[in-house]
Amino acid sequence: MFYQTIPSPQTVPSANVDRREAARASTVLLIGKVNDGMNDNACLVLNLSEYGLMARMSFTPAVGQALEIELRGLPRCTAHVRWVNGMKAGMQFVEKQNLEPVFCQTSDDGQIARAPRFDVTLDAVVRLSGRQFKAKISNISPGGVRLEANVAVEPGQTGQILLPGHQICLFGTVRWVEGNAFGMHFSTPLPLGNLRDCLEG
């Protein structure tokens, strides 16, 4: 049962709960993508088991609501909200999940495991190697961002990304360039609050 692995804040499991089952819940701090059927939202997963998770949400879901969840190493799957306490919620997966890929640094094809990406349309100001220019952000994740600009950039360059409308300043390194598009990896992960602000436009 879900409450055996991720207890509700109002519920204390009885003494006869299978402790081996409860021990399967792992404390994690992972940014996830949550779709409520209309929009993609961000959440911070705090506890995770094969059967469900507890997360701090960027919106308030309803008990019983079905959500689509996506995490690094965990493909999009369906979960139902079992309890809500403030901005925290407990969710139960419709199907038992394999968590081994979640805790691996690389995927099955040998690529670096990455957090979910969020499609956005944001204006940015980029500072690289003493130059400053305007760019468009087309997707963002806790680890990096995809930008487009009519300016030549090179992999390995380091600099800043400014989001004037959100008063956010990010530091990162150019990892790849493809035509007018380029990707930058953040020096430190983007906090949930800043990611939420970006998704809200």
Would you place residue 34 in the very low, low, confident or very high pLDDT band (cuts 50, 70, 90)? Answer: very high
Q: What is the mean pLDDT of residues 36-47?
A: 90
In a domain, 8, yes or no: yes
Are residues 81 and 140 both part of a single domain?
no
Task: Say how many domains are in the chain.
Answer: 2
Residue 5, pLDDT > 90, answer no
Report CA-CA distances (Å) from 78 to 19, 33, 94, 103, 126.
26, 12, 6, 20, 38
Are residues 125 and 98 both part of a single domain?
no
Q: What is the pLDDT of residue 10?
A: 46
Are residues 82 and 174 both part of a single domain?
no
In a domain, 56, yes or no: yes
Residue 9, pLDDT > 60, answer no
Are residues 86 and 144 both part of a single domain?
no
Are residues 140 and 169 both part of a single domain?
yes
DSSP code of residue 116: P
In a domain, 110, yes or no: no
Are residues 6 and 99 both part of a single domain?
yes
Answer whether 137's CB lies under 8 Å from 147's CB.
yes
Q: For all residues of the chain together, what is the average pLDDT?
A: 84
16 or 121: which leads in pLDDT: 121
Residue 18, pLDDT > 50, answer no
| Number of helices followed by number of strands (H, E) in the chain | 3, 12
Are residues 12 and 90 both part of a single domain?
yes
Question: How big, in percent rounded to 5, are the helix, strand and coil portions of the chain?
Answer: 10, 50, 40
DSSP code of residue 64: T
Q: What is the mean pLDDT of residues 147-170?
A: 92
Report CA-CA distances (Å) from 197 to 22, 71, 120, 167.
35, 19, 11, 10
Residue 155, pLDDT > 80, answer yes
Percent of the chain with pLDDT over 70: 82
Are residues 40 and 94 both part of a single domain?
yes
Residue 147 domain boundaries: 118-199
Are residues 135 and 166 both part of a single domain?
yes
Are residues 99 and 144 both part of a single domain?
no
Percent of the chain with pLDDT over 90: 55
Which of 103, 128, 159 delimits the end of a domain?
A: 103
- Two structure tokens written together for 56: 């701090």
Which of 103, 129, 145 delimits the end of a domain?
A: 103
Residue 66, pLDDT > 70, answer yes
Answer whether 200's CB lies under 8 Å from 145's CB.
no
Phi and psi, residue 195, nearest 5°? -65, -45
In a domain, 74, yes or no: yes
Would you place residue 91 in the very low, low, confident or very high pLDDT band (cuts 50, 70, 90)? Answer: very high
Are residues 73 and 141 both part of a single domain?
no
Write the CATH number for 189. 2.40.10.220
Q: What is the pLDDT of residue 201?
A: 64
Residue 171, pLDDT > 90, answer yes
Are residues 95 and 123 both part of a single domain?
no
Would you place residue 111 in the very low, low, confident or very high pLDDT band (cuts 50, 70, 90)? Answer: low
Would you place residue 20 in the very low, low, confident or very high pLDDT band (cuts 50, 70, 90)? Answer: very low
Distance CA 71, CA 23 (A): 21
In a domain, 32, yes or no: yes
Answer whether 108's CB lies under 8 Å from 118's CB.
no
